[in-house]
Amino acid sequence: MGMPDVDVKVAENVANLIQPIRDDLMSGAAEIALRAITVYQSVLSGEQKSPEQLKSNLTFTAKTLIDAQPAMAPLFHLGNDILMAIENGQTVEDIQNRCTNALTQFEKTLCASASTIADIAYDLIDPGELIFAYSFSSTVVSALLNARARGRFFRVVCTEARPSMEGRKLASRLASGGIEVIHTFDNAMGLVLGNCSAAFMGCDCIARPGVVNKVGSWMLAVACRELNVPLYALSGTEKFVTDERLFEFEKHERPGVEVWDNTPKGVAVLNQQFDLVPFNLLTGLVTEKGILKEVDIEPYVSNVTVHRALTLAAI
């Protein structure tokens, strides 16, 4: 009953398609998940030798995508949804249909969540105030642009988010949507946060210990508490994972040269991408189900059924 190995040509194609996702340090988890959908579509559209081979190819794709961005929960859920959906597929066509349906459903849910979250976040943006936003999250961008489009006037302060500087992408995106933006570097957070009425961040995954997001989120959270600025993580419930998977983010270490390309002898460079914000530092988690507090998350964390190919032991 063993599955065949992944087809060599498919493996090569998938690896090529996933490399840019692996190297993408500028996009949020929801945005990356939408791009992952196209990778699965590419695998589906190839010539299929047998139902077993297709299942094996899709399993390989799921594992490779999850490994590419281990902190990003939506990649895990997308893979998990697909493997669950195709589990009992009998023919190539049946598996293709099941997989396509899972992809469509996932994309729909993601977009509907972002829209609901934007409407909830609208009420957290006081007219005329300054809002702090950190790193790049498509959910946060949607929320801010939605509020501006609905006629709310406010300004946004954001910082660079070293080393990838995706804060500049955020600043550009918001400015082109008609929002006045003030931009500074990350260590100057303390100078600007005190003037903000709220701070928004996205997130990559959530479990009982807290919320994982771009490194610097913990500093932001500690500074917000010190200055009494409410901090909200904006995130669909597709970001919930089991507690042990949460710590997969620690695997995501990038080359030191991305921080300092000319390091002198005797200097080691640390380039970690994510950190963990415990729930007690967050004012609330803005999801499509409403604004959740720590006491509300139990059902979301415990209701994750993991396909046997994607348990941590299997990966």
Q: Footprint of a second copy on this chain (CB under 8 A)? A: 159-163, 168, 171-172, 174-176, 178-192, 215-216, 218-219, 222-223, 226, 259-260, 263-272, 275
Which residue type does 9 have? K
| 85-to-24, 78, 95 alpha-carbon distances in Å | 28, 11, 8
Q: Residue 182 Cβ, how far from a second copy at the closest point, in Å? A: 5
Question: Are 174 and 156 in contact, with CB atoms under 8 Å apart?
Answer: yes
Cβ proximity to a second copy, 139 vs 159, nearer residue = 159
Q: Residue 155 Cβ, how far from a second copy at the closest point, in Å? A: 9
Q: Residue 202 Cβ, how far from a second copy at the closest point, in Å? A: 15
Cβ proximity to a second copy, 62 vs 171, nearer residue = 171
Cβ proximity to a second copy, 116 vs 184, nearer residue = 184
Cβ proximity to a second copy, 183 vs 239, nearer residue = 183
Q: How far apart are CA 212 and CA 202, in angstroms?
A: 9
Report residue 314 as tokens: 């299997």
Q: Residue 228 Cβ, how far from a second copy at the closest point, in Å? A: 13
- Helix intervals (H) in 178-256: 189-192, 217-227, 243-246
- Closest residue by Cα to residue 40 from 70, 25, 18, 19: 18
Q: Residue 196 Cβ, how far from a second copy at the closest point, in Å? A: 13
Q: Residue 149 Cβ, how far from a second copy at the closest point, in Å? A: 15
Cβ proximity to a second copy, 92 vs 141, nearer residue = 141
User: Locate tokens 């559209």: which residue?
Assistant: 45
- Closest residue by Cα to residue 95 from 59, 141, 146, 136: 59
Cβ proximity to a second copy, 41 vs 272, nearer residue = 272
CA angle 165, 170, 171 (to 5 degrees): 95
